[in-house]
């Protein structure tokens, strides 16, 4: 069994969850703070879109934006000497884009469930919005945020369509676990495919356990 897809997937999912966690939490906070319900609805639709689009369509958009001969992709090549498409970085971008809505939606739901009386009391005491976020919202929303992070990590680990579009299926470089399963099945190597399937299943099961633990912690806090 070639273990490179396992390490590539774990590196990709780990890098993606750091980006997704920060961006998803920030986006959720900004949307929750919006006064206009119309703007909130529009931005919520935009930020959730990657979750409802087919992954290959999301990958097509990424390839269109970041391809070698596209403006953004060409800019990075000309000024930084970095080719984004069909690189390991492309696997991180694909996993981040696809897993972002899960983190965002979970974080938003967790922030919205915090008792508004706590927020009003904090403002009465003269706390700024940043202090309210870190000292009131975040501590009370931790279980939901953690659950979103676990789900986003598992989704990034299992990303296939967008990764195949923008990163390709390059052995030892961009071949993640889902792509390895596809490659082995296409080649008729069913035993090797089963090895990768079992690895993904074990990691996914551990992710579900972590999510359930976060849920139990949330119930105990209540």
pLDDT the model gives residue 193: 93
**Per-residue pLDDT at 205:** 87
8 Å CB contact between 96 and 156? yes
- 3-state DSSP assignment of residue 49: helix
3 state SS of 11: helix
Q: How many CB atoms lie within 10 A of CB 26?
A: 13
Put residue 127 in one of left, alpha, beta given phi > 0 → left and psi -120 to 50 → alpha.
Answer: beta
Question: Does the pTM of the predicted model rise above 0.85?
Answer: yes
96: three-class secondary structure by DSSP: helix
Look-up: residue for tokens 């967790």?
110
pLDDT per residue, tens digit, the chain (222 aa), is: 788 999 999 999 999 999 999 999 999 999 998 888 888 999 999 999 999 999 999 999 999 999 888 888 888 888 888 899 999 999 999 999 999 999 999 999 999 988 888 888 888 888 888 888 888 888 888 888 888 898 899 899 999 999 999 999 999 999 999 999 999 999 999 999 999 999 999 988 888 887 777 666 655 655
């Amino acid at each position: 069994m070639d273990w490179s897809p396992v390490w590539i997937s774990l590196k990709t999912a780990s890098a993606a969850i750091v980006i997704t966690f920060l961006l998803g939490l920030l986006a959720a906070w900004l949307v929750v703070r919006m006064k206009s319900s119309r703007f909130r609805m529009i931005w919520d639709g935009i930020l959730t879109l990657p979750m409802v689009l087919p992954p290959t369509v999301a990958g097509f958009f990424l390839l269109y934006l970041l391809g070698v001969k596209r403006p953004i992709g060409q800019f990075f090549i000309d000024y930084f000497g970095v080719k984004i498409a069909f690189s390991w970085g492309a696997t991180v971008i694909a996993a981040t884009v696809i897993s972002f809505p899960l983190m965002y939606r979970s974080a938003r739901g967790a922030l919205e469930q915090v008792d508004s009386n706590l927020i009003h009391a904090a403002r009465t005491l003269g706390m700024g919005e940043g202090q309210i976020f870190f000292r009131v919202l975040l501590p009370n929303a931790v279980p939901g945020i953690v659950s979103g992070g676990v789900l986003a990590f598992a989704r990034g680990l299992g990303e296939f369509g967008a990764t195949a579009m923008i990163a390709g299926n390059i052995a030892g470089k961009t071949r993640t676990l889902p792509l390895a399963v596809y490659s082995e099945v296409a080649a008729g190597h069913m035993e090797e495919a089963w090895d990768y399937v079992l690895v993904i299943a074990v990691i996914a099961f551990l992710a579900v356990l972590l999510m359930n633990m976060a849920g139990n912690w949330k119930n105990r806090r209540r």
